[in-house]
Amino acid sequence: MKTYCVTGGAGFIGSHLCEQLLAQGHRVINIDNFNDVYDYKTKIRNILSSTGLVFPFLYSGDKDGDLAKLQAVVESDYYRLVVADIRNMDELDALFASERIDAVIHLAAMAGVRPSIEDPLLYEDVNVKGTLHILEAMRKHGVRKWLCASSSSVYGNNKKVPFSEEDVVDFSISPYAATKKACEVLGHTFYHLHHIDTIMLRFFTVYGERQRPDLAIHKFVRMLDEGEELTMYGDGSTRRDYTYIGDITAGILGALSYVEQKDNLYEVVNLGTNRTIMLRDLITSLEQEFGTKARIRTLPNQPGDVEQTYADVSKANQLFGYQPQTDFAEGIHKFVTWYRGNRHG
């Protein structure tokens, strides 16, 4: 049994990763600050699901009180929930001093391109300063293995496809993308100076069960289910490399095994599917799932949104055998099935 620290472990990707690590018999320390980007109750449900404790939870409406109850419910020899902010160095110091951590999987961040344009200082504070604090805590307490979530957003409006890790990523078009590029640079700095073996994982548009309610697929599904008009930005021709959560989790675990086996390692790796789906085709797929025709309101393209994402995943395959298994139609069906079973939860 190893002890892994997962930052943002109550979120969409993080909760799935925690679930898989626990299933493999490891101990998980989940650091999450339960910010107000979306209802804290969603994250509580994520934790209960990922730890296998799926049962009615009576919310008091008092966030601190509910989180205290949650900690009491899930605390065990295998799982520790730490409600903390990665910007608080004292909290991180205390945690790392109290645990023997084998590796860190750093997923916590302020996510989203459009909100980052509205509040770039917050994104810099959480994503860059917070990441630096994680690296400092690792340096001080002798943790030398980590994975860090980057993003396909760092490629900007790259004209060459598919996107390769060798491509120049100096032309971000959103503060969110810029912070993720900064994290990659910080990772290399601590690898160079302090011998922290590192893999930066560039995720490509992850979707699936427990997806954040503010993301496109989840929003479209809810709107279709409730008979609302869908809002589509642009003419529907933008393309994304949609990657199912099960494939992303498998990729993270593969990368974790790889970084643990290697010394003197710094790599940047794409995790996607090597295929793209147009926005209008996404909507068509959802219409077929619901057996209904969507009413669509078209608005101009949003600042900061890229025209397409498209991952070359050959490096991930070469390094640790990454090979996505879920085609888009299957992944959409799984998500809609999950949504229907949880919409009143």
Directed axis angle between helix 40-50 and helix 12-23, to 10°?
A: 20
Q: Write out the two tokens for 282.
A: 């996404």
* CA separation for the pair 151, 204 (Å, rounded): 7
Nearest to 142 by CA among 194, 86, 91: 194
CB 147 within 8 A of CB 259: yes
Nearest to 132 by CA among 165, 99, 100, 89: 89
Whether the bond into 120 is cis, omega within 30 of 0: no
Establish whether 79 is a catalytic residue: no
Sort strands 79-83 and 27-32 into parallel, antiparallel or unpaired.
Answer: parallel
* CA separation for the pair 89, 92 (Å, rounded): 5
Please identify which of the residues 4, 40, 123, 176 carries the catalytic annotation: 176
Nearest to 128 by CA among 183, 90, 181: 183
What phi and psi, each to the nearest 5 degrees, are found at residue 50? -70, -25
Neighbours of 285 (CB within 10 A): 18
How many CA atoms within 13 Å lie on the side-chain side of 126?
21
What phi and psi, each to the nearest 5 degrees, are found at residue 58? -85, 105
Burial bucket for residue 275 (CB in 10 Å: 0-12, 13-18, 19+): middle
CB 147 within 8 A of CB 266: no
DSSP annotation of 328: H
Q: Write out the two tokens for 254.
A: 């593969």
| Positions marked active-site | 176
